[in-house]
Amino acid sequence: GKFVDMVIRDPFLYNLLFQSQASLNGTSCCTRYLVLKDETNHTVDDPQKIANPVCSASQRATKSVGIATPTYYANLV
């Protein structure tokens, strides 16, 4: 997936953009993640290591989903 954490971001918030799924040319859409509180003091590289496996863990899809799997399942309930 594509991960943007430096160029397109709010200078006052810890946010990042991630596109986990493959898409047709011109139809892709990124998901914006906003860290509200970081009690574990993650480095900037830690979300990159976590995001792709979490987006690929869905049991309802054979490919990566656009948002993190726990969020995807919570939205279904």
| pLDDT tens digits along 7-38 | 666 677 777 777 777 766 777 777 777 778 87
**Among 36, 33, 48, residue whose Cα is nearest residue 2:** 48
Mean pLDDT for the stretch of residues 39-51: 78
Residues of 41-77 as b/e, b for ≥16 C-beta within 10 angstroms? eeeeeebeeebeebbeebeeeeebbbbbbeebeeeee
**For the chain, what is the domain count?**
1
Mean pLDDT (the chain) is: 75
pTM summary value: 0.57
Domain that holds residue 6: 2-76
